[in-house]
Amino acid sequence: IEAWAHKIPTLLLRYDADNIVKDNNLGYLCDTLSEMKEKVIYLAQNHEVYNEMANNALFFARSNFKSDVILEQLENHLIELI
């Protein structure tokens, strides 16, 4: 989440919980360390792709993890319990 909030695309190794990274175009899911290395090089050389993922990451972090968003979700869950 911190990386997303700083506009840093994510590279994952073999696991993407709930397909969040893939579904939101926040980075890449890699099968090997070699593939991760290739993706780092690719992103370094392709600024348009990097910037798109970076902007997606920031949007996702702000939309899902800002304190006011979390507080609203918490309030809604508490109201449901009452």
Chain segment 20-29, per-residue pLDDT in tens: 999 999 999 9
State pLDDT tens for residues 30-82.
999 999 999 999 999 999 999 999 999 999 999 988 777 778 888 888 888 88
* pTM, full prediction: 0.79
Q: Are 21 and 10 in contact (CB under 8 A)?
A: yes
What one-character-per-residue DSSP string does 5-47 give? HTT--EEEES--GGGHHHHTT-EEEESSHHHHHHHHHHHHH-H
Residue 10 and residue 32: Cα distance in Å, rounded? 15
Cα–Cα separations (whole angstroms), residue 68 to 31, 42, 72: 36, 35, 6
